[in-house]
Chain A
Amino acid sequence: MTFSRALCASLLATSCLLPAAALAQDATGLPPVDVESATSGAGEAAPLGGAVVGRDEIRRRQASTSDTADLLRSVPGVSANAGGGFSSMPAIRGMTEQRLRVTVDGHPIDLSCPNDMNSPLSYTDPQTIQAIRVLAGVAPVSAGGDNIGGVIDVTSARPQFSGQGSTISGELSAFYRSNGDGFGGSARVTVAGENLSATYTGSYTQSENYSGGGNRGVVRSTEFAKTDHALELAAQGGFGLVRLKGGYHFAPYEGFANQAMDMTDNRSWFVNLGYEGEFDFGSVRFTADYRDTDHEMNFLADKLPGAMPMNTEVHTFSAALKLDMPLSARDTLRTGWEYHHQWLNDYWPPVPGSMMMGPNTFVNLNAARRNRLGTFGEWEARWSERVTSVIGVRIDRVSMNTGTVQPYGTGMMNMDDAMAAAAFNAADRERAEVNWSASGIVSYALADGVSLELGYAHKARSPNLYERYSWGRGAMASRMIGWYGDGNGYVGNLNLRPERADTLSAALDAKGEGWSLRIAPYYTHVDDYIDAVFVKKITNMMGMPTPWVQLQFANQQAEFYGVDLSGEVALRRGAGRDGTTLSASLSWLRGQNLSDGGPLYRQMPLNARASLQHRQGPLEAGVELEWVSEKTRVDATRNEPVTAAYALLNLRLGYDLGAVQLSVEALNLLDKAYDLPLGGVSLGDHKATGLLRPVPGRGRSVNLGLSTRF
């Protein structure tokens, strides 16, 4: 007893002394180890099939577009479904809208409009985005649930702290676009102390209607204006890092060429809270957010005369906890929980003097709720320097409900809606599903510079509120629903089941001295894919035929397959960053509705782009050729228009004056006339001229950009 106590004491004493002794002597210095951050900072594996668009690339192109989704078209396999000037909807390998999970700084933003006008990315501005990460193909389950098509995460600037004292840094930018007289500017200012930091980001952008290429003339209902402001406070200390960010978005107007309505007011404010902590057992990430959005639709100048106010109010709250636990140098275990709550009111006030739109308020969704509780477990293993695997399972429970609804009136003109409302109010509207997902990704380095990734995922997503609860069956009421830009009317379906997708994807990546190549094929089969089936032809008030049909959301079978190719060759290398690089990419995709045997809607035809980039000292020059084949595989159910093949030539010049960076570019230099293959039909033009055409692409635009960093 005494002996063991003495031993303990001596052990304690020595173990205290040893580190002191170790400190006293000279240590052998090893060279530094460099650690790169994942762009999201979330510690998630970034699969080969994914891509990151970084600040440098975004800065180079921020004068070209105010539409974040448009920026993503440079990522192979990603296309953009045209919407408003800052609200087009990205599509990853043929899947879009609510099939994707879109987050900003890790916080999800809901679609909250019957036409998806205020898309999640519409709350971001290319001028103030730090990076965009796209997870195409098989995204690990830790990247989020309730999606089957992939994940897009936009990150703003990470908090910065000064080593000593306080510092001020920031970036200012401004741009002008000749086509549409667009202009805008942005500011980011960070005041950083050792442990506290405050960052303000703000931007403004506006544009008139743009002109189509060649003889296409002005494209109506394409004007927009918006401003975003946010302030982030961050604090670090022994506890870790805490970020608190609040922001406000205001869009006074945004025309939608391919919708019956325009956005006439959108205001949204949010508070995001984030915590990042590192502990002996691993990393802890906690996020919580609240967002309140008031969204209004009506007609802008091109769609007048007329009035039809449509208002949507949305509140969302989410909270998520993620633990990242390295168990050994080989194994990392991830687990997490996520809660997301959405509350939505959608109502259309009566129009004074209108027989049809009155006397009551049309209640489209009455305090609709959609709650989701998810949890996942994921195991990442580094079997060797060459082999890594990530396997995960996830469960999401989605519950939805909505209150009773009412039509504008119960007269003859509203008979369809009145009957539909009665049936809807009598039905049981509460729904709940438990969806499971799983993903498995294996990466194998075949040789130096050559790696192969294979992935399989089963993903599920429940219908959104509009797919399930849109109830209007009148021609006009149903035409107010839908984010397809096709002019057709859509009716919800209480009996919809969740979509379940099985995806197999692979990516072969090869890099050598001055070149790289990536080949990424994929196949997805979707059970209960939510598409639409024909209900009736829509007639006007006189009973005359219109180009539109009424469709109802329905579960179908669908499949997607295709391949994305991309590569780069350094043609010449100079000192530092100087050099000439040729890069090219090609995407081929087939989306098929297996139930009706026809092509799926809005599937990007074969497309390729090649660019030559030259950099010499402060000068940067680029030539880009963009080619899209004709689109003949169209969705007959929606009367999707056929579009012709086209090729666009873009030129870019950048000059770095040190303190200031200048850029001049000419997009669609040859002013080629073309129609957007994913643009839908031009309803703004149709209302003004009576002629129906696909939405034309933008004609030549000369853009000037100016930015400075301090």
Chain B
Amino acid sequence: MGSAAGTGQGGKARLVSGLASLALHALAAAGVLAVSGMEPPSVPHGPARLTVVTLKAEARPPAPEPEETVHPRAGGEPRPAAPPILAQAPEQSFAAGPAPALPEAPVAQVRQAPALPPPPPPAVRQERAEDGFAAYQQQLWRHIAARRPQGAGLSGEATVRFRLSPAGALLSAEIAGSSGSANLDRIALRTLRLASPMPAPPQGVASERLVFTLPVRFH
């Protein structure tokens, strides 16, 4: 009874202000898209929908797509909250994780063969490859650190061990050293999954070397 009296009167006004607010948000979202479009391309972006693109590229082994070429701007339209496409993306990336390992791993080994049996490669070349790998580690670290999560109010250090494909996709991830809290361990693992695909490693790095450990310190 009271509700009808209370809400009916302001109903129209509320509808109008609701529409106005929606329009404002759409404008804000469009503005944000436009602004982010002006970002320097050097900042790596890793939206989940791009995972799909990268995985497709992996099906054709030799052509890992450089991540910088794809950009959220390519998504086009500003979307309202909870776009359904995005909801599917992470699942695909997890499910696809271990599976594509089979076809691509041997190919990579055959094609690149840098480390294992060292058939006399010129020393200079090897050093250069090492420099490249060291730079890649930095790039990888920056990529993950930029996607660091918010803590959960607990402290601890979780060390994750993960393996990347030659294209930079996350193949597997596990806890190598627990923080003592299952919640923190899971946040650390989730961070890696969300950061995938990572920047593609330099060509010529053996897939056995694409295994990393990363301590995540929660304060």
On A, residues with C-beta under 8 Å from B are: 10-11, 14-15, 18-19, 21-23, 25-41, 43, 158-159, 161, 163, 194, 236-241, 276-280, 282-283, 326-331, 333, 377-379, 381, 383-387, 389, 391-393, 399, 428-434, 436, 438, 440, 442, 444, 456, 458, 497
Contact = CB atoms under 8 A, between A and B. Distances in A.
Interface in B173-217: 174, 176, 180-184, 186-187, 190, 193-195, 208-209, 211-217
A41 B195 contact: no
A384 B39 contact: yes
Given A35-B217, A277-B183, A389 B29 contact: yes
Contacts of A383: 32-33, 35-36, 39, 72
B102 A15 contact: yes
27 contacts: A15-B101, A18-B101, A21-B208, A25-B211, A27-B213, A30-B141, A32-B215, A33-B215, A37-B150, A37-B219, A41-B151, A41-B152, A280-B94, A326-B190, A329-B47, A330-B46, A330-B47, A331-B48, A379-B82, A387-B32, A387-B39, A428-B1, A432-B2, A432-B3, A433-B3, A442-B28, A456-B28
Contacts of A381: 32
Contacts of A10: 102
Contacts of A23: 161
A497 B2 contact: no
Nearest to B196: A329
B154 interface: yes
A363 B146 CA distance: 60
A486 B2 CA distance: 32
Contact of B150 (A38, A239, A276): A38
Contacts of A18: 98, 101, 105, 163, 171-172
B56 interface: no
A276 B181 CA distance: 11
Contacts of B146: 385
Contact of A22 (B39, B51, B211): B211
B55 interface: no
Contacts of B219: 34-37
Contacts of A27: 161, 176, 211-213
Interface string B44-55: 011111010000
B154 to A, nearest CB: 6
Interface stretch (B6-14, B57-65, B118-126): B6-14
Given A33-B216, A391-B29, A333 B102 contact: no
Interface of B: 1-3, 6-7, 10, 14, 17-18, 21, 24-25, 28-29, 31-33, 35-36, 39, 43, 45-49, 51, 72, 80-83, 86-87, 89-90, 94, 98-99, 101-102, 105, 137, 140-141, 144-154, 157, 161, 163, 171-172, 174, 176, 180-184, 186-187, 190, 193-195, 208-209, 211-219
Contacts of A279: 186
Contact of A431 (B2, B144, B171, B211): B2
A194 B46 contact: no
| A-B pairs, 5 with minimum CB distance | A328-B48, A41-B153, A37-B151, A379-B81, A432-B3
Nearest to B31: A442
A465 to B, nearest CB: 14
B182 A240 contact: yes
B48 A440 contact: no
Nearest to A7: B102
Nearest to A330: B47
Nearest to B147: A329
A240 B183 contact: yes
A458 B21 contact: yes
B195 to A, nearest CB: 6
Contacts of B3: 399, 431-434
A28 B151 contact: no
A377 B10 contact: no
Contacts of B215: 30-33
Contacts of A237: 182
